[in-house]
Amino acid sequence: MLVLARNAGINPEFIRDMLWLTAAPDHLLSLTVAADTLIRILDNAPPSWSAEVHAIGINQWRTALEWILSEKEILVAEIGPHLDKQHNSTGRNPLSGSGITEYPFYSVLTEIRPQAPLDTPFILLVGQLLLAYATELREQSTRAGYENATEWPWNPLENSVSHAALAVRRLSEKKYLHELQVLPVSQDPDGFAFSLELLTEPSSTIIQSDRENLWRFLQKCWGQRPWNDHYAGGGGGSGGHKWVGGRWEVASRLLLEPRTLDEGEDPAFKWGSVDIVSSKILRKRKQIEELESDIAPDESEQDEIAILNHFPCDEGKIDLGAQARVALAKARHLKKANQLIPWSYEGLTVDEIAKLRTIIKIETGRLLSQQWGNAAQKELETLFLLVIMLWSGSDVERALQTIVWRSDLAQPPVLGLGIYLDTSQRQCCWVLRAMTPEYQSDCIGTPQQLRPLAKQVFLPTIPGLFKTVERITQARKNHAHGQKLFKTPSDELHKQAKKWLKGQFPDGRLSPGRIAKTLWHQVYQFTGDPVIASCTTATDHPLARVRLFYTSPKIQYLKKIYLDSVIPRNDRVRKAAGLDYKKQTMWTPDLSSIDEAVGARLCPTVVAVKQMFAGLVSDIQAAREYTDQSGFIRFHNLFTLYVVQFFAYSTSCRAIKTPFLSLKEVDRKTGLAKLADKDDGSLSKTRLVWLPEKLIRQMEIYENHLLAVRTHLGAWSEDVANEPCFFLDEENRPQWVRPKSIEPLLMGYLNVRANTHRRFLRTELIERGCTAEVVDSLMGHWYQGEEPHGCFSSFNFGSYLVELKKYLPALHKQIGLNRVIRSKLSR
């Protein structure tokens, strides 16, 4: 058959893929019936299936399938009459008998279909199983494994498809057709797999069992549940795991993340704990592809989709109303926690810090002046532990492990927090491990094009700490450089600190947790940016997780932020404490390079990006004088790359699918456009972007260029050529603009990934003074409760545009992104 296809001009690779991903019998029994079903699936596939249809490649099978049907007489003569075996007079499946057992999925394609109008829902149900099964076969098997199989049924998956296939075939029977009508078969595949579980139970126990077999198989294929899952619960069964009390979006891969909202001993802040359910939309293979293109791992999640309560399944089923109320209440608390409203005082107030500092200062002075002993050592270490937590932003665990550096000795590595002592100047400062995302792999760019990353950060302390550190270290004989600061065992010191706070502040407001959070919230309130607060204090925070992947602030910038936010607060604290005001300076050693940064890797410098655009423009101008087809293809691809990068460095568009917009989607009068480069259809992450005037002019020229290009294309795929941008291959055929096609061209000018522009934009705009809420709105970074379009949001889109127009064009000018390039094909 493959030889006949090749001779007829049909790509045999598509036939091989079709046979593999349908697990077809090698003798091609009833292939014409299966081919007709596949064509009908393609004809009726709704737009919500588009991503999966293209990912699997089913859309490429059509020509081969139509050839099979149009040339079936020739094929039957060459292969045999079994190729065209039809349903018999009683309407039985041509694979009836052992064929259904050996080829369970393929038998679904050959099943007799109901009469109109129920034939279409049945075709779509078959299509749902096809998309799930073929997707999983692509990930868990190989075509060679299928073609070399010697035993049937061939089943490379952990669970057989047979029960799910039977569930689909049974719904073609006349007595069960009414059950077919209630299925949401036009829904997107992930959503269908989830929704199927939530449908009202059918009256037939047979159909109920079938339906459960089907949704379990589909959910496993789409990653919503593990393959070794054998328990019941949630939508039915015997319970055993938590019931989803409230749901905001349909999910595909559920991940559970506990979040504790309790804050100290104050009853007003005891919100309890919630379980955040997030949804991994992408399969593992796709997640890896996006990670390689420099998309943050967590960007593939629908953040904080649902809140789980802690009732068992059987209790939840008794009162679903109570279940929903609990979920909504916890959702409100989660949104409040994400909003980090300044007056909620998750850290300490100025008066509280002043009171704490006054008591510590008095007690420390008393201890330093009295006769020294173990009791005094323990008491002084207890007080200094609280000082470390307050002014370095460290939690108890990190503060207890503080090590001591001496300026006159080699510097040991800092795994958490250190105190750097300069004995000649009698000064000290904090040494923190440089904050960075937890990367799972190495990725090396061109060092000359990137911001160098530091391993540690030196930040100033408040003045006057050197004497205390000196006394603590002197009390320990032979205190080694690089060893822990505290002599008292960690558990004992922790208990002593809690006891001391309880005695001095019995209301519970000044807890170790709130003291540790004070500096982070102090920097956050000053900058409005959780990732800058996390980079400054080297502490994790849920709201900084995604943003950290796109931020590489320089250490010099962090020092400025620290001083600008801490010194004024320290002055207010001294005033509130009644201390004599003296202008104080904070000291750090000059050990870091002025260009060293922390945070995300692979952040290009302004100079490197400027050189990229300069080199690209130069090559486009040279390529514009093309004289043959290969020269034209080179010009078109470079021209497309420039336009796509112009758009990317203006809108921060994620390069996942076609990272560009058609002009018809842009309001040319205002330059505004709606950008949905991440959403799953709910549009909760859709954002408003502003396009500079020169970019709009460039898009007009490129659109006219494409109109002319399309008239000169040979055999091409219509869906690709109708995209707002596309590359051309060596044979002048349109190719998708995707990370894998962008990066080979891009790396000739800047050795980074397709989405690195997002890191560059966020980092540069933040450091230049653009407010964090404007940058987040541009980037599309927000969690539940932070949405700029939320019903209670005070975000002002008018002010957003004013500020964006202040900072973005200035950055474009500095990187040389101010050229409008013409094409000979444009009118």
- pLDDT band, residue 47 (cuts 50/70/90): confident
Tell me: pLDDT of 376 over 60. Answer: yes
The two three-digit tokens of residue 762, written as one number = 């966020």
**Interval 331-361: pLDDT, tens:** 666 666 677 766 566 788 888 888 998 999 8
Residue 507: its pLDDT value, please?
A: 87
The two three-digit tokens of residue 194, written as one number = 């989830």
Residue 33: its pLDDT value, please?
A: 93
Return the amino acid letter for 294.
D
- pLDDT band, residue 788 (cuts 50/70/90): confident
Residue 238: its pLDDT value, please?
A: 31
**Of the candidate ranges 425-439, 660-674, 714-728, the one whose mean pLDDT is the lowest:** 714-728
The two three-digit tokens of residue 66, written as one number = 């139509």
**What is the 3-state secondary structure of 661-721?**
CCHHHEECCCCEEEECCCCCCCCCCCEEEECCHHHHHHHHHHHHHHHHHHCCCCCCCHHHH
pLDDT higher at 608 or 267: 608
Return the amino acid letter for 318.
I
Residue 260: its pLDDT value, please?
A: 57
572 phi and psi angles, rounded to 5 deg: -65, -35
Mean pLDDT of 279-308: 56
pLDDT higher at 397 or 443: 397
**What is the 3-state secondary structure of 56-73?**
HCHHHHHHHHHHHHHCHH
**Tokens 């205390």, residue located:** 468
Rounded mean pLDDT of the chain?
A: 83
Give the DSSP letter string of 277-290.
Answer: EEEE-S-HHHHHHH
- pLDDT band, residue 714 (cuts 50/70/90): low
Residue 399: its pLDDT value, please?
A: 95
Sheet holding 254-260, edge to edge: 244-247, 301-308, 273-280, 254-260
Residue 152: its pLDDT value, please?
A: 79
**Interval 393-428: pLDDT, tens:** 999 999 999 998 887 766 666 678 999 888 888 888
Contact 692, 650 (CB under 8 A): yes
Mean pLDDT of 771-798: 82
The two three-digit tokens of residue 525, written as one number = 């309130």
Tell me: pLDDT of 122 over 80. Answer: yes
Tell me: pLDDT of 248 over 50. Answer: no
Looking at the chain, the whole-number percentage of residues with pLDDT higher than 70 is 80
Residue 316: its pLDDT value, please?
A: 41
Return the amino acid letter for 295.
I
Residue 286: its pLDDT value, please?
A: 59
**Interval 698-710: pLDDT, tens:** 999 999 999 999 9
Q: What is the pTM of this model?
A: 0.70
Tell me: pLDDT of 210 over 90. Answer: yes
Nearest-10 crossing angle of helices 374-392, 512-527: 30
Residue 133: its pLDDT value, please?
A: 94
Tell me: pLDDT of 276 over 80. Answer: no
Provide CB contacts within 8 A for 222, sequence distance 6+. Answer: 132, 135, 189, 190, 193, 252, 253, 283
Distances (CA, A) of 101 to 31, 104, 153: 17, 6, 7
Contact 656, 680 (CB under 8 A): no
719 phi and psi angles, rounded to 5 deg: -65, -30
Tell me: pLDDT of 318 over 70. Answer: no
Tell me: pLDDT of 315 over 50. Answer: no
**Of the candidate ranges 3-17, 617-631, 670-684, the one whose mean pLDDT is the lowest:** 670-684
**Of the candidate ranges 6-10, 272-276, 462-466, the one whose mean pLDDT is the lowest:** 272-276
Tell me: pLDDT of 301 over 50. Answer: no
Other beta carbons less than 10 A from residue 255's beta carbon: 12
Rounded distance between C-alpha atoms, residue 738 and residue 719, angstroms: 14
Residue 245: its pLDDT value, please?
A: 37
Return the amino acid letter for 499.
K
**Tokens 């009508």, residue located:** 181
Other beta carbons less than 10 A from residue 55's beta carbon: 16
Q: Is 760 exposed, middle or buried (0-12, 13-18, 19+ CB in 10 A)?
A: buried
Q: How many contiguous H segments (helices) and E segments (strands) does the chain have? A: 34, 13
Q: Around 457, how many Cα atoms within 13 Å sit in the side-chain half-sphere? A: 31
**Of the candidate ranges 261-275, 292-306, 746-760, the one whose mean pLDDT is the lowest:** 261-275
**Interval 64-79: pLDDT, tens:** 999 999 999 999 999 9
**Of the candidate ranges 224-228, 501-505, 537-541, the one whose mean pLDDT is the lowest:** 224-228
- pLDDT band, residue 663 (cuts 50/70/90): very high
Rounded distance between C-alpha atoms, residue 592 and residue 799, angstroms: 37
